[in-house]
């Protein structure tokens, strides 16, 4: 898999996580543990995107 395709897939996952976070905030009682976990995963993906972008 080329790096550019991998970066695109990571960006899609990053966007999906943002959507999940937004949906969780819309709940009557948002679960802060879930939100924290999603934000952490989103940050890891962002770091991976930046690392791959610098390598290419």
The reported pTM is: 0.88
Overall number of domains in the chain? 1
- The residue segments making up the domain with residue 26 are 3-55
- Given a cut of 70, whether residue 1 has pLDDT beyond it is no
24 confidence band (pLDDT: 50, 70, 90): very high
**pLDDT tens-digit map of 2-12:** 999 999 999 99
| C-alpha atoms less than 13 angstroms from C-alpha of 20 in its C-beta half-sphere | 17
């Amino acid at each position: 898999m080329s790096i550019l395709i991998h970066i695109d897939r990571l960006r899609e996952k990053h966007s999906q996580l943002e959507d999940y976070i937004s949906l969780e905030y819309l709940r009557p009682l948002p679960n802060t543990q879930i939100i924290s976990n999603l934000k952490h995963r989103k940050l890891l993906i962002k770091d991976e995107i930046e690392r791959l972008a610098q390598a290419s």
